[in-house]
Structure 1
Amino acid sequence: MIHAQLLAGQSLSEIASLVNQFLCTRDVGKYATMILLKLFPDGRIEYVNCGHVQPLTILNNEIRRLEEGNLIVGLISGASYTSAHCVLRPGERLLLPTDGITEAEDSTRHAVRRCRAEYRRTPQRSEIHARPDRKVSRAKSGTG
């Protein structure tokens, strides 16, 4: 649905509205967070954040949050959505975090605790930078 709308030339705001209407008219009792984002070759970014975790840009030790946001989709019929813009600087990276790990469930629909335990065993960023050769080899071998 989203891909087809992009190909048809719809704006990101219009697409967010269409997804919202689709979910609201189906009356499935579900809503969703999402980010629609276009990255242009010159580093420009256009995005519509519908209640999702904020994207980040990272350049050296500087972290910027893309803070503009909108209502989640599927909750209120007729909600309007607006896009925001920013420009990536040379060497800057875009990070799109997911909220999925916090919502993971097993086959019985219980939260997956193993993911949380695995996260706790992952070396912290400062540890990885302090001894990258040692930590990477440990992470690959499954030892902590």
Structure 2
Amino acid sequence: MKAFIVLVALALAAPAFGRTMDRCSLAREMSNLGVPRDQLARWTCIAEHESSYRTGVVGPENYNGSNDYGIFQINNYYWCQPANGRFSYNECALSCNALLTDDITNSVRCAQKILGQQGWSAWSTWKYCDGYLPSIDSCF
């Protein structure tokens, strides 16, 4: 029940901050940030399934008390420092709130670091993005 209340509160608050992108706008921005074009279909798939392309999303509490942040739902136990001061390894050396802004640079850089350390399977939604994906070529 607690998780349901948190989800409802987040859903109501979501329009108040962040922005909603689409597949092509995300692909173009990531390309402009230097992400290899052959990765863009995977990244857009992950963003679709993790956050519905929304930058301002904080996910519900996970089993270990952590939360996931931003367009790629990056976990605060390992990758960013939550505002409440809770322990974090903070491997991306940034505040979790930096993952919630309209500027996706921090989210992209942190997601690339995660990919480099753990691979695509770091995202639980990878199962939807492993295999054939539609081309993003029409976005450019």
TM bracket (short chain): under 0.3
Structure having the higher strand fraction is 1
Normalised to the residue count of structure 1, the TM-score between the two structures is 0.23
More helix by share: 2
Q: TM-score, normalised by structure 2?
A: 0.23
- CA radius of gyration, larger in: 1
